[in-house]
A and B are shown apart, each in its own frame.
Chain A
Amino acid sequence: MHLLVDAVGFGIAAGAVIAIGAVGFSLQFGMSNVLNITYGALMTLAAYLGLFLLGRGLSAWAAMPLCAALVGLASVGFRRLVVAPLRRRGTGALGMVIVTVSAGIIVEYAIVAVAGTAAQSYGRQSGATLHLLGMTLTAGQVAIILIAAGLMLGLHLLLTRTTLGRAMRATAANPTLARSCGIATERVGDAAWLLSGGLCGAAGVALALTTVSFDFTLGSVFLIPMIAAAVLGGIGQPYGAMLGALVVGIASEVAGALWDPAYKDVVAFLILIVMLLVRPRGLFGAAWSARRLLA
């Protein structure tokens, strides 16, 4: 029983990391309609950037916003230089996936070329543990849960209270209409990719912080639980993705505890496949999107 409670606690922590990434992914997909596999590789990039900054004596908490900013810029660059021009050339959905897979592999192996294939680690973070409702969490995990909650709240305010947020939601719902209403959809798109890239970077560092060790496949492996969360909540719906992230995180950790840790990822795979085949619009379907959220 205690094992189970602990697993739930770990699941919430894992869910928090997934949530940061999944919300960014969902936002980006909802805005641009491109299934961006490069997202995973950019997460890995953030983790390695963090490693580099840590080596320069920065603390992980200072490295996180910096990495988020850098990866956000990389994300905008990728959109401007690759995604948008290809879109204008009329590349189809499948072509785009192949392009983003390829770009992801380029980024991944560029990391290998620089840093090698060896496993890396941020080293032991603060060892203090907290006990909460019978769950045992490290201070780092608690911090990440708080950061995730903060980011989600910030995003919520951005989407609902600002002009940019409204413009983003309008563009996601109908780009053509948004453009003819005078919204600079290209700039809004850049903003969305900056934002989602930033979330991707933050998630990368958070992920590296919470795993014992990682290598260049970190992000591409983590992409599946993230996409699973995004699809579970309905693509393009950030709140759905948050909830989906918690479900995926807890389900994976509990399954890992009850069954075999090696199958932890399989749970996310299964959730994703079943969702895509049975309810590709997400658990909450149309009812959720009726609440004036993205898409």
Chain B
Amino acid sequence: MWGLNLQFGVGGVANLAYVVVVAAGAYTYAVLTLGPPAASGGFQHYVLGLRLPFPVALASAGLAGGVTGVLIGVTGLKRLRQDYQAMVMLVVSLMAGTVVAADTGLFNGNAGLSLIPNPISGVSGMTSGWPYVGIVAACCLIGFVVLRRFTTGPMGRALRAVRDDETAAAAIGKDVVRLRLVVQAAGGVFAGLSGALLVAFIGGWSPAAWAPVETLALLTAVIVGGMGSDAGATVGTLVVTVLLLQGVQFLPEIRSHPGLKEALGWMTLGAVTIAFIWVRPQGIVPERRPRHGREAPPTHVGRIEPLPPPASRPGAGGEAILEVERLVRRFGGVAAVDGASFTVRRGSITGLIGPNGAGKSTALSVISGFLEPGGGAVRFDGADVTGRPAHELARRGLVRTFQLAREFRGLTTLENLLVAAPGQRGEGAPGVLAGRRYWGGQERELVARARGLLAMFGMADREDEPARNLSGGQKRALEVMRALMTRPRLLLLDEPMAGLSPRLAERLEEVLLQLQRQGLSVLLVEHELDVVDRLCEQVVVMAQGRVISTGRMAELRTRREVQDAYVLG
């Protein structure tokens, strides 16, 4: 029974407080279906006691699970290291257990609730549990279909992107906070439902039933089966619950050690978990990424069609697409950017150069919303965007790339591009529920555009390769392509040429010039001055956090202050 119920666990992330959510669903179901406490002789105390019908209680349990999931998820929003986060979850589950066990008025404390009705218990003549098994199986089937829609479409792709690299996901306009809460809520709903189904089956529920050690069983199931794979979670659950936990029941009983069998079961479970992390961290059924058929030939080769500028904004359409004014950013006592001002003209490629430590990358991070400014202003397309979050800026058309490539490791090359496309129908609730019918058409267009980009960079044959397998230079190129996929109007490139093969670098230069002719504006941070010379009509020189000179590259080479900055650092 556990097996069928727990396969829903995949919706959640590796969440050590998962059992708490299951428990929330179970308790909700219990107190909603039970009669008033006094009616059952008053031997157990609890809140509510509404005697609601099964479907209502089940739905409420799902809701309770979702809410609990979000509440726990909020603690995970703070950017803690993964292991710290895991610890917070562990502590939350311990704390919840302690409180529920100690407070007898809420759910009857440590003794737990019993005599919880299930939908067939009132029907006369049904003494076996089989009809209920049927109901659960039906729920599982529906659940699995919904789950598949959730994990396989654009929504699942966006979630995996967030999982692989939050920062890069924000850079292409994904609202990381919203996506993480969505996954917590969805996982919570599944957990709450599974808790309700379980508690209706066994009829009783107490703190001992959801000790933190049960979470390990769930985690083991996910790890053994394969993280991020729906089929894997099903396999893992079957293996863990059926083979390990139930399997030890068939060992011969040893009179002198009553707890021995259970102990052996848990020990095996622990050993299996370690063994899998050691030998086969991807699990029995590894995460598979979809391949896209040949139905969408490349289009838009050599064209990116920047997003149209928002129509009715005063000041939009002016000469400068980006104006940076007296920008300041301090780290401790050091002002990495110390009052820098410059502009990027619409439709130009502007270079930003300077010796190491001049504050170029920091300036880029502040402009693109990854770092809070310590002072000054940033105007994009006439609108003040100072200190706005990165994903919002990306959606407005201001997109950056990173100095070190940040690919979504678990996604294929093609998916890395697809996930970046703005305004995807499959990323909202209707897209998840309605499935491919709703977003399939748009998806085909996106595949075609992505293939167009891949063709431009001569990487068409790599589209189904997981991004982690690409070479360093290809990852850099992917980074630029992904940024282009968002259809930016201003592209901030942080040393895009570094690490590129000469062939790819040449290709990128051509592409940038081509895109510029189509109206794309670029701010290019680059150390290779020859490249800057060829591409940029306007170059800004920074040193020690300030702009020390502006002009054409040829003029700058002759200027005293620029030479000094490079020689003296």
- Show the binding face of A for B, using Cβ within 8 Å: 35, 37, 82, 85-86, 89, 91-99, 101-106, 108-110, 112-113, 116-117, 224, 227, 260, 262-263, 265-266, 269-270, 272-273, 276-277, 280
Contacts and interface: CB of A to CB of B under 8 A. Distances in A.
Interface in B175-215: 213
A105 B95 contact: no
User: Considering the complex of A and B, which 9 residue pairs feature the smallest CB-CB distances, nearest first?
Assistant: A262-B102, A102-B270, A106-B270, A109-B263, A112-B263, A102-B273, A93-B83, A269-B95, A35-B83
Contact of B257 (A37, A97, A116, A263): A116
Contacts of B262: 109, 112
Nearest to A118: B259
A104 B266 CA distance: 11
Nearest to A89: B278
B146 interface: no
A252 to B, nearest CB: 12
Interface string B248-274: 000000000111101110110111011
A97 B274 contact: no
Contacts of B57: none
B277 A227 contact: no
B513 interface: no
In this complex, the member of B83, B88, B94, B274 whose beta carbon has the largest number of chain A beta carbons within 10 angstroms is B83
Given A103-B270, A224-B94, A263-B102, A110 B263 contact: yes
Given A260-B102, A273-B88, 17 more contacts: A91-B278, A93-B81, A97-B83, A98-B86, A98-B273, A98-B277, A102-B271, A105-B213, A108-B266, A109-B263, A109-B270, A112-B259, A113-B257, A224-B91, A269-B94, A276-B78, A280-B80
B259 A117 contact: yes
A149 B554 CA distance: 70
Contact of B87 (A35, A117, A260): A35
A276 B264 contact: no
Contacts of B99: 263, 266
9 contacts: A82-B274, A86-B277, A97-B87, A102-B269, A102-B271, A116-B259, A224-B94, A266-B98, A276-B80
A273 B75 contact: yes
Interface in B352-367: none
A112 to B, nearest CB: 4
A274 B269 CA distance: 32
B335 interface: no
Contacts of A95: 277, 281
Contacts of B257: 113, 116
Contacts of A35: 83-84, 86-87
Contacts of A94: 14, 82-83, 86
Nearest to A106: B270
The number of chain B residues touching the other chain, given as a range, is 35 or more
A83 to B, nearest CB: 11
Interface of B: 14, 75, 78, 80-84, 86-88, 90-92, 94-95, 98-99, 101-102, 213, 216, 219-220, 223, 257-260, 262-264, 266-267, 269-271, 273-274, 277-278, 281
A103 B264 CA distance: 13
A39 B14 CA distance: 22
A276 B84 contact: yes
Given A35-B84, A106-B271, A99 B277 contact: yes
Contacts of A260: 102
A249 B260 CA distance: 35
A109 B99 CA distance: 25
A101 B267 contact: no
Nearest to B92: A273
B520 to A, nearest CB: 37
Contacts of B87: 35, 97, 227, 272, 276
Nearest to B101: A262
Contacts of B213: 105
A274 B271 CA distance: 33
A260 B260 CA distance: 35
A97 B86 contact: yes
Contacts of A93: 81-83
Nearest to A113: B263
Contact of A265 (B81, B98, B259): B98
A263 B78 CA distance: 26
Contacts of B98: 262-263, 265-266, 269
A99 B273 contact: yes
A86 B81 CA distance: 19
A89 to B, nearest CB: 7
B255 to A, nearest CB: 13
Given A102-B216, A106-B270, A96 B78 contact: no
B441 to A, nearest CB: 38
A148 B220 CA distance: 38
Contact of A109 (B84, B91, B94, B267): B267
Contacts of B274: 82, 99, 102-103
B86 A276 contact: no
A96 B83 contact: yes
B269 A105 contact: yes
Contact of B82 (A92, A102, A106, A280): A92
B87 to A, nearest CB: 6
A295 to B, nearest CB: 14
Given A106-B270, A224-B91, A260-B102, A98 B219 contact: yes
A12 to B, nearest CB: 24
B517 to A, nearest CB: 44
